[in-house]
Structure 1
Amino acid sequence: MRTGPGRHGNRGPRPGPGVAARVGAPVVLVSFMAAVIIPFLPLLSAAVQPAGTPLTGLDVPRGVHLENFADAWVTAGFGPLLWSSILIALAVVPASVLFASLAGYALATMDFRGRGKIFAYLLLGLAIPTEVTIIPLYYDLRAIGLTNTRWGLVLVEIAAFMPFGAFWMRAHFSTMPRALIEAAKLDGASTWKILWGVLMPNSRPAVTTLGVLYFVWSWNQFMLPLILIQDPAQRTAPAGLGFFTGQYNVDVPLLAAATVIVVAPVVLVYLFFQRHFIRGVLDGALKG
């Protein structure tokens, strides 16, 4: 009897990932991190310069003056501004991700009348600049008493983010194996169970990437809060920074310190979710 390897004989252990693969992933992560941090360094350098120092470019700090952050925090009243931005982001991001996931799931896996027209309508929303809709939005919200309220801004941001989110999640769900969905149907799973029990557990990178993008977009909104919220107590951090800039446009270190305070949460969120964010972007690029 032959003992040599046959058709299904022992082929030995499978080779592990190559050196290029093991080295490439950290290199990509470090590159993305550097792309975020390096542009942040000149701003941080200016923020720790002595107050009132005229700056025209990147300069080595002459001592570390952390009091600039305290002065900017107190002068601009960043406590309520950041809290307002956090409340809005906490309301916008989960709701927007939920609605985008539901819409993307329906558009990708269900056959119903008008599906193509609905998707085309959502794509049209991607082509309309936000600036074009601000004035009509202001009058519509004023008619129902939602101007000068965070809830009005939350609803507007959810609607503004919906087209991209539905497009993103539809593209993701379209790449999921149809056999997985059919097998779940044969096992008696409902449409709701297929979404939350089968597809969503395998969609963490796509959902995380969308959530990070939504947080960044919501946090960085300037025009919408500036027009829709006139009450200083409910104004967001970027909008408050705009008024602070008009007041202290000569003191560059103080302005830089205020900008660091506003930008820091976005950078921290990106760095925290960096691995999932990059994986979601790469998965979307490869599958698309």
Structure 2
Amino acid sequence: MSKTGRNTIIGQMVLITLMLFTLMPLVSMLSTALQPAGTIPTGISWPTAPQWHNFIDAFNVANLATLLWSSILIILGVVPVSLLIATMAGYGLGVLRVRGGQVVFLLLLLGLTIPFESLIIPLYYQMSDLGLLNTRWALILPLIGLFMPFSVFWMRTHFLSVPADITEAASIDGANSWTAFLRIQIPLAIPALSALAVLLFLWTWNQFLLAIVLVDDPSKRTMAGALGAFQGQYGTDIVLLCAGSLLIMAPTILVFIIFQRQFVKALLQGSVKG
């Protein structure tokens, strides 16, 4: 067997092993969720009579319909605004090379190094002073700010990967910076924007810590944030808890499966290369 063939087989074995390690927790949760309610399953064993109605019970008990609407509102408040600001800032820093851009970029990089947990207490008092505690704005506004360092870095890196000849050709044809941005740069940035939108969606949907600290009303939290209250109230019913967790995870898995090609395309275009 050739060296290339051996490397291919080894690579496939590594991928299969990683896939099994990744799927094992999901399979364990699914097998637990299908057990009779009130039982305490041990290990991974497929039930002889799967209780699919546990998912309906978990959906009703956790009031997931209301939480789904709340999560959608929060995502609609975070993702589009973050994309708009990050795209314009990335264009300014990567293409226009605005005065003081290097300082701004270094500050953004510094923001990437700050532990998320260290900002919880300052954010709590800031939202309290603004009168936004226990509202969805207490999640939307901080999340936009917290996502900015990575989002701007992502878009700036993409714009830097676009050949400068394209922008120069547009300038020779009489296009100003705004026209070049809308007519040339934005269409080329669709893969990077799509991948960033998927990441922002996943991060917002899975936001847990901010949701339970800044919002007391579970109906105004994200789906993941409501899981804390769900677990606290029904923590002894492991079956129902696993069913609810899988329901909360399902939309994120579906979104990633649908947009995985755009995500991979953005990576291949050099969106994360420095």
The alignment's TM-score, normalised by the length of structure 1, stands at 0.84
2:270 aligned counterpart, secondary structure: helix
CA distance in 2, matches of 1:242, 1:227: 11
Please list every run of 5 or more consecutive structure 1 residues that lacks an aligned counterpart in the other structure: 1-19, 21-26
Equivalent residue number for residue 223 of structure 1: 209
Equivalent residue number for residue 280 of structure 1: 266
CA contact 2:83–2:193 (8 Å) conserved in 1 = yes
Which stretch of structure 1 is more off in the superposition, 98-107 or 62-71?
62-71
Compare CA radii of gyration and give the structure with the larger one.
1
Q: Which amino acid aligns with 2:189?
A: S
1:74 paired with 2:60, answer yes
CA RMSD, aligned part only? 2.3
CA contact 1:84–1:236 (8 Å) conserved in 2 = yes
2:118 aligned counterpart, secondary structure: helix
Q: Which amino acid aligns with 2:146?
A: A
TM-aligned CA deviation for residue 42 of structure 1:
2.3
How many residue pairs get aligned? The number is: 261
CA contact 1:104–1:167 (8 Å) conserved in 2 = yes
Please list every run of 5 or more consecutive structure 2 residues that lacks an aligned counterpart in the other structure: 6-11
Deviation by residue 1:146-177 (Cα, 9 ceiling, x = unmatched): 11111231111000000000001111110101
CA contact 2:134–2:216 (8 Å) conserved in 1 = yes
1:255 paired with 2:250, answer no
Equivalent residue number for residue 49 of structure 1: 35
Which stretch of structure 1 is more off in the superposition, 205-214 or 243-252?
243-252
Equivalent residue number for residue 176 of structure 2: 190
> Which of 49, 53, 65 matches 1:63?
49
TM-aligned CA deviation for residue 231 of structure 1:
2.0
Percent pairwise identity = 46
Q: Which amino acid aligns with 1:205?
A: P
CA distance in 2, matches of 1:205, 1:43: 33
1:105 paired with 2:95, answer no
CA distance in 1, matches of 2:270, 2:147: 18
CA contact 1:205–1:279 (8 Å) conserved in 2 = yes
CA contact 2:158–2:272 (8 Å) conserved in 1 = no
CA contact 1:50–1:62 (8 Å) conserved in 2 = no
> Which of 103, 118, 123 matches 1:117?
103
CA distance in 2, matches of 1:157, 1:270: 20
CA contact 2:218–2:229 (8 Å) conserved in 1 = no
1:142 paired with 2:128, answer yes
Equivalent residue number for residue 149 of structure 2: 163
CA contact 2:206–2:222 (8 Å) conserved in 1 = no
The alignment's TM-score, normalised by the length of structure 2, stands at 0.88
Equivalent residue number for residue 211 of structure 1: 197
TM-aligned CA deviation for residue 110 of structure 1:
1.4
Q: Which amino acid aligns with 1:217?
A: W
CA distance in 1, matches of 2:216, 2:256: 30
CA contact 1:104–1:170 (8 Å) conserved in 2 = yes
Q: Which runs of 4+ in 1 moved over 3 A?
A: 34-39, 285-288
CA distance in 2, matches of 1:37, 1:94: 32
CA distance in 1, matches of 2:133, 2:165: 48
Equivalent residue number for residue 250 of structure 2: 264
CA distance in 1, matches of 2:53, 2:264: 36
TM-aligned CA deviation for residue 284 of structure 1:
2.5
